[in-house]
Amino acid sequence: MTHDEAIDRARLVNVESYHVDLDLSGAPAGMPFGSVTTVRFSCAEPGAATFVELKPVEVQEIRLNGVPVDPAALDGNRLPLAGLRADNELVVRCTMAYSTTGEGVHRFTDPEDGEVYLYAQACLDDAQRIFACFDQPDLKATMTLAVSAPPDWTVRANAPGEQVRPGRWEFAGTLPLSTYLMTVVAGPYHTRQAEHDGIPLALLCRRSLAPYLDKDAEEIFAVTGALLDHFHGLFGIRYPFGDYVQAFVPEFNAGAMENPGCVTFREEFLHRSAATDSELELRTMVIAHEMTHMWFGDLVTMRWWDDLWLNESFAEYMGWRATAEVTRFTGAWTSFAIVRKSGGYAADQRPSTHPIAPERVADTEQALLNFDGISYAKGASALRQLVAWLGDEAFFAGLRAYFAAHAYGNATLADLLAALSAASGRDLSAWADVWLRRPQVNTLRPEAVTGPDGRYGEVAVRQAAPPGYPTLRPHRIGVGVYAEEGGRVTLAHRAEVDLDPEADGGRTPVPQLAGVPAGRLLLLNDGDLTFAKVGLLPQDRAVLAEVLPALADPLARALTWAAAMEMTRDAEMPAAEFLALAGAGLPAEDDVAVFAQMLRFARETVADRHLPPAARPAALAALAGACQNALDAGRPDAGGRRLTALRGLVSCAGPELISRLRGWPAGRDVPAGLEIDADLRWAMLGRLVVLDAAGEPEIAAECERDRSARGAEHAARCRAALPGAAAKARAWELIVGDGPLRLVAAVAGGFWHPEQAADTAPYVARYFAEMPAVAARRTPNVVPALAHAAYPRYAVTAETLAAAEAMIAVPDLDPGLRRAAIDATDDLRRALAARTLT
């Protein structure tokens, strides 16, 4: 649907209610499901025509105001409705298909016990795969749902409901909702229930995952209650949607979905193997993120997808903020800085960059592509910067006024800015123009003159912007001077400064630091209040390998690591220099999120792509040595640090570690305090397969040991990693086939390895030749993930670049494939540039 069409239809139509009756009783046998929709709506121009969306297998009956409509009138996904009255009733009776791609009603069979599980995912415009509807966000309506299902199933939805007779469930009418927020979860789900402050709570998962949910249920309920209390106080409106159900569902594409009353999460958040504090923190943040949506997105919904930031940027900001403020993960902003923002910086510098709040999103295809690091991480960072400028009191006063004015309706950027401006007494139009309407990232570089007495004579910050995007922005930042004392590097002086975008040459002095003793590190954006890349003084960079391991504050370390990472991505820091920094800094790194992210970057980007192939084995050996040093260090195992180091050691293992990779699963010489659980066993087997030290017999044996859905994905990834022409041919046929997304993505994820460049060389050209046809057969939700996973990321050559650019230039290329290829090809260009450095 285009934005123009949505505007026209919203002028014409006001939707009052949906009654949806779904027959899921044939799901265990794989039969399509029945859907009967009754829509009541008014028309501002009686006699006019419009349409509803619908993607059925078969239509049995359509009646508009009691008059039959020929099912053959359905054109693609659009059912024309002519001769409308002032008040109308549409009844559509049809049969719908289940999906295996996380769209519409997803059907999953548990390989462990054969049980069938369903859940509905209606976002972005997949409600029409479930029921006939006006599928756009600003046509909100009440929804009443009835479901027929097998008698032993549990069924949950957006509103409270009950089983009125065996196999028949009826749910209360909802408050006004957008169609993309509709859901139903049905199957023999294991359920845990509780209550907090009068709000019924529930947790759901597959029966085979019950032990893992039961293990964590108390913590999840406690976090949920604390967050509800926190948001009630901040937003001034209690959670309005009745029950608060959180369902962990199989083969979910995203992290979670904010369906009011029934939030769906990917079930990987229930950890069957040992989890680090970083992984548990992420789950907590996602719970907070989705709960924020109950207000930002569900209570008040964007009018169209150009204001996606009103949903995702606010949920991301409040998710991390609330996690840091009301849960045990008080260092959450450190994880945001090193994990989430790195993705935001990468997205904002690519050719596919876009504003946080684009002035126009032409259609739903374009909207789908904007669910990225810009709408999430950059948007959240811009809000953090706004709060630093306005202060909490004005910010939350504006939000409360916004909710009060637009509750159960739709809103725009202008509506929010008006509320914040009124509360703060500041005109935010100029701020919004440079922060929300213009893309790309600024770079902040320190300048300092040190006198003979060892004190700064002058400190300044120079702001720059890329030539094609010359916008300089107002930034409120901290500037920290870190000095060494007793072997630790700690904050000695700090100044906050407002960078003036109108200053000559973008240069802003920091007079508060004149006369301050020069430290070992001058850190810009100390405290991480803004979204900007930062540089380092040349003298600080020269001693970074000494300073970073001694830097006491985790957030300061994260920002310093991030600066080095960005310089490496920009081909300003040679790969060898970053690897030396990793070798020095990782063994001393106590923050699990920082350790994991920097090791991943060092391994997957620097060693695997930025270095010439001949240098890679030595680099992996050095990284493995850093992980071994972290394992051997006599430091407390805070939050799973040793587990993270072991995972890193496995990922970097070369031939010299084959005997250990074989011995650990058998219980030989396992590092103290660690258990080789199912996911570690698969990781070790996967690395052995890549090293040609294990094969199909070992994979089959591990499958017998682990018959879970997770095990099936691990096995698919391992089989794709088998060397040899025959194995690669089998894997490629799966990648370009039509199988379930999760398994195909797992195969694609295991296909490419630098060690197997000769085996995969023929498939570099085949990717660019065959992926357009694959994309044409697949749905918009599937294409970007598959195209990204299957991209020949280790073929860092000019020939790969030429083939990629030729495919991207094809005029009618699928938009999802084009976006994925543009982003992956940008990384390829950076890798080629990095290889030119000495």
Task: Give Cβ neighbours of residue 33 (< 8 Å, ≥ 6 apart).
Answer: 22, 23, 24, 26, 27, 95, 96, 98, 105
Q: Determine the angle formed by the axes of helices 678-690 and 709-720, rounding to 10 degrees.
A: 10
Calculated CA dihedral for residues 587, 590, 596, 602, nearest 10 degrees:
-40
Name the DSSP letter for residue 253: S
Beta strands in 115-243 (DSSP E): 116-121, 142-148, 154-157, 161-165, 168-171, 184-187, 190-196, 199-205
Give, in order, the Cα–Cα distances in Å from 764 to each of 690, 723, 791, 792, 793: 19, 16, 8, 6, 9
76: exposed, middle or buried (C-beta count within 10 Å: 0-12, 13-18, 19+)? exposed
Using alpha carbons, select from 99, 121, 105 the residue that is nearest to residue 263: 121
Helix (H) / strand (E) element for 67: namely: strand 67-68
Q: In DSSP terms, which residues pair with 494 in a beta bridge?
A: 480
- Write down the catalytic residue from 251, 258, 290, 312: 290
Convert 627-660 to b/e letters by CB count within 10 Å (16 or more is b). Answer: bbebbeeeeeeebbbbbbbbbbbbbbbeeebbeb
Beta bridge partners of 203: 192, 246
| Phi and psi torsions of 413, nearest 5° | -55, -45
Element (H, E) at 815: helix 815-834
Q: Are the C-beta atoms of 358 and 370 separated by less than 8 Å?
A: yes
| E strand or H helix at 489 | strand 488-499
Q: Return contacts of 209-212, CB within 8 angstroms, 24+ apart.
A: 209/248, 209/267, 209/270, 209/272, 212/270, 212/271, 212/272
**Distance in angstroms (rounded) separating the CA atoms of residues 245 and 243:** 6
Q: Is 466 exposed, middle or buried (0-12, 13-18, 19+ CB in 10 A)?
A: middle
Contact 534, 524 (CB under 8 A): yes
Cα 575 to Cα 607: distance, rounded to the nearest angstrom: 8
770, containing H or E segment: helix 757-777
CA distance 364 to 301: 16
How far is CA 526 from each of CA 446, 459, 550, 586, rounded to the nearest angstrom? 12, 15, 17, 21
CA distance 835 to 838: 8
Cβ pair 609, 831 in contact under 8 A:
yes
Annotated catalytic, 484?
no
b/e for 266-284, b at 16 or more Cβ within 10 A?
bbebbbbbbbbbbbbbbbb
The C-alpha torsion from 565 through 489 and 586 to 532, rounded to 10°, is: -20
DSSP for 302-353, please give it. ESSGGGTHHHHHHHHHHHHHHHHHHSS-TTHHHHIIIIIHHHHHHHHHSTT-
Nearest CA to 301 out of 423, 421, 176 is that of 176
Dist. CA 388–CA 476, nearest whole Å:
7
- Residues recognised as catalytic: 290
